[in-house]
A and B are shown apart, each in its own frame.
Chain A
C-alpha cells in the first residue's frame, strides 16, 4: 500500500536556521496522526511542504505517491487548515460557497450543521469575526470538504473548550462516516489523545517519536509508594524521573509491565500510574525536570 504521506530525508533550511532536519516518515491511509512538538519544532513547515505551500531544501516528499508541489492531481485531494488561516475579505457564507466548488465530496449539510454548532453568523464578514470564530470557520471548511487528506495545524486558536469538544466529536463522527487521512498538529495533547491513532513528534526539526498511539500509552508508569520498596521494585529499569518526599517516592520508569509485574506491585503495596500522553511527550523532548530529592 502506498503511504498517504512519505517523507525521505526531508530537510528545510532558512539561511542559518534549520527548520526540518532529515525527516523520514510514512503515514498510512485512513489514520489519524497527531503531529506534536514544541513551538518552532517544525510542525507547520512540514505541513506546508506536504501541501506544496513551501519547498524542501533537501530530501523527498511524496503524497499519494507523487510530489505534491504544483501537482494539481495531488493537491486537489487535500485541504490544509492553518492556524490563523488568512482569508480574503469575504462573508462567511461566501467563503463556504467558494470552498465547496473545489471539493467533489463537499457536504453542504454538514457545513450548515457545523456553522450552527459553532454559532457562526453566516452573513458576517470573516475579518469581523472573533479569533475563535475565525478558527471555527477553518474547521467547518476543513471537515465539510471531506478531502482524502485533511491537515489541521493548531486549528483552534481562541476556541473555547466547548467548541473544541464539538470539533473533536465532529471529527470522530466524520472519520467514522467518511474515512480519510488526518494529520493534526496541536499542543493540547491530552485533549486529543483518544482521537489519535499515530503520533509523530518533532523536536528542533527532527523526528523524536514516530509510533502508534497505543504503543506509547503504556510506555511508562510512575511507581508510587514507600521509598525503599519503590527502589526495590524499579531496580534494573531506566529511571526517567524520581521524586522523593519524606519516606515516600514517586519514580517514573519505562514499561512494559506485564501481569506478573503488576501483581508484584500490588503485593508490595505500590501504585502504578500510566503516564499521560502529554507527560510522555515532555519526557520524550528531554525537558523532564531534574531529579528532585528533598529531605
Chain B
C-alpha cells in the first residue's frame, strides 16, 4: 500500500498537469462563455456543454500520466502492477474530488440562476442535471472513464507506437459498426431508442462504470506486456 501511495504522490509532483491545467482551462472557457452569454441574447437560457473541456483535458492527462513516469518508476523498483494501481488510486481520488467540485459549481450555478444570466455551464441537460449527489456520481464515473481511456490509449501507443494505436482505434470503430449492424439486422432501433430515452442518467452512469472497468483492465493488460 505504501508503494501505491508513493506512486500517487510521485504523479502529484507534477501539479501543472493534474491541477493547474484542467482548472485553468475550465476557468478560461467559463469566462469566455459568460462573456458570450452577456453579448449574445438567448431565449431559453444559454447551454454550452463547454464543461466537457475539463473531461478532455483529463483524457489528455491520462494518456501521458502512466507512460511518462514509467521508466523512472521502474528504475526505482516499482512493479508494473504497483505502478498501475498507484496511478489508479490517484485517478480515483482526484476524480472524486474534482467531480465533487463540479457538482458544487453546478449547484451554485442553479442557486444563482445561471450566474445571473441564465448561463448553464456546469449543467448538462439530462446527464448532469439531477440532484447534486447524482451529478457528483455521474461526473465522477465520467471523469474516471475519460482518464482510464486516455491511459489505455497512451499505453497502446507506448507498446505498439502509431501503427498499434491506429489498429486500436480501428478495432473500436469496428466494434461500434458491428453493434450498429446487429441492431439494424434485428430491427431493434426502437428498442435502443427507448433504452436511451426512458431511463434516468443513473443507468447511463452504470454503463459508463462498466466501460471504465473495461478500460482499466485493458490498460493493465497492455501495461503487463510493456517493457522499458
Contact = CB atoms under 8 A, between A and B. Distances in A.
B75 A82 contact: yes
B71 A85 contact: yes
Contacts, number: 76
Contact of B76 (A48, A55, A102): A102
A88 B6 CA distance: 15
Contact size range, B:
20 to 34
B77 A77 contact: yes
A80 B77 CA distance: 8
Given A51-B74, A88-B72, A102 B3 contact: yes
A7 interface: no
Interface string B119-134: 0000000000000000
B71 A70 contact: no
Contact of A102 (B68, B78, B81, B228): B78
A123 B77 CA distance: 25
Contacts of A95: 72
A75 B72 contact: no
Contacts of B13: 90, 94, 97-98
B195 interface: no
Contact of A75 (B6, B69, B79, B224): B79
Contact size range, A:
35 or more
| Chain A CB within 10 Å, residue with most, of B72, B74, B77, B80 | B77
Nearest to A78: B77
A55 B225 CA distance: 9
Nearest to B80: A70
Interface in B48-79: 68-69, 71-72, 74-79
Contacts of B72: 85-88, 95, 98
Contacts of A51: 74, 77
Interface of B: 3, 6, 9-10, 13-14, 68-69, 71-72, 74-82, 224, 227-228
Given A79-B75, A101-B10, A102-B6, 20 more contacts: A51-B74, A52-B74, A70-B79, A70-B224, A72-B81, A75-B77, A78-B77, A79-B77, A80-B75, A82-B71, A86-B71, A86-B72, A87-B71, A98-B10, A98-B13, A98-B76, A102-B77, A102-B78, A138-B75, A141-B75
12 contacts: A53-B227, A76-B78, A79-B76, A85-B72, A85-B75, A88-B69, A90-B14, A95-B72, A98-B6, A101-B9, A101-B10, A141-B75
The 9 closest A-B pairs by CB, nearest first: A75-B77, A86-B71, A102-B76, A101-B6, A88-B69, A76-B77, A70-B79, A54-B227, A98-B10
